[in-house]
Structure 1
Amino acid sequence: MNQQPNNPLHGVTLADLLERLVERYGWDELGNRIQIRCFTHDPSLKSSLKFLRKTPWARAKVERLYLRSICYENRNVASRSASGEGDGEQEGEG
């Protein structure tokens, strides 16, 4: 059995991970946070995936940023839930 219930990267493809990071940060900020050429010079999903699949140290940096960003998102969701924000009651405001 290859189940990894405590691994937040389990089941997340590199393409999905990179797409989420680009959506969250954009290529410019991603290049600022992880200074690798495939993010800073004419970036594209295809070229970045090709590089990251061949370069373990770069992939590790991207995975760490992804893990930090999802931990940050989870903390924000938890704090909003605890404070009563984000529970769908905002639709009637205005």
Structure 2
Amino acid sequence: MGAASRIAANAAILAATLVLPSAAFCAAALNVDARSSTCSQISQIIRQNKKVFVRSGFGGSSFRYPPAKCGWGYARTTASFRDAAGKQCVLDYACAYDSGSFYNNP
């Protein structure tokens, strides 16, 4: 019985080792309403959370920080929107769908 419990414990440790990192990579993007924050607050939120979706009007923009972290099939670009004070914000490090990407053309 001792060997069986040891094997079960090793299997549980292996399963936990494989599952925990994948949960960290699956973290959803934080949703931020552009009309409820200032430009500097939104920029700070993006830097702190690394993966943010800024909602503005009907759509929005996905941001990744640092800029090199855009997913496959996406290109780095700038995005503009209005903040809570009505000021025009232009932020770099937006990730936009890239139709010319190798990953988007079968």
Q: Same fold (TM over 0.5)?
A: no
Structure 1 or 2, whichever has the larger Rg, is 2
Which structure has greater helix proportion?
Answer: 1
TM-score normalised by the chain length of structure 1: 0.28
